[in-house]
Amino acid sequence: MQARSSKKKGEKDINETAFSIVQMATGQIPKVEPPAPVVKKNPAAVTLGRLGGLKGGKARADSLTPAKRKAIAKKAAAARWTKS
């Protein structure tokens, strides 16, 4: 009975992979790049999103009370210091 190979069907050997990398680096074969995904955006949605983004931070800051702003700043500072 033959032992099963741990290599999956169609999977390259490590030496074959290294060889293809060297060939790509030296220009013997062209580099394979995946095609860029084509995404079409709705222009109306882009405009609305930009409008909201431009006024979002300032509108939020104007609506906060000084006490609430102070609490948010304390929480942010605590989060920065506890990361390290």
Instruction: Quick: pLDDT tens for 9-40.
Output: 777 789 988 998 898 888 888 777 778 888 88
**Longest distance between any two alpha carbons in the chain, whole Å:** 78
* End-to-end CA, the chain: 56
What per-residue confidence (pLDDT) applies to 71? 96
* Model confidence pLDDT, tens digit, residues 33-78: 778 888 888 999 888 888 888 888 888 889 999 999 999 999 999 9
Its pTM stands at 0.37
Structure tokens at 80: 């920065």
What per-residue confidence (pLDDT) applies to 64? 93
Closest CA to 25 of 36, 37, 17, 13: 17
Cβ atoms of 69 and 61 closer than 8 Å: yes
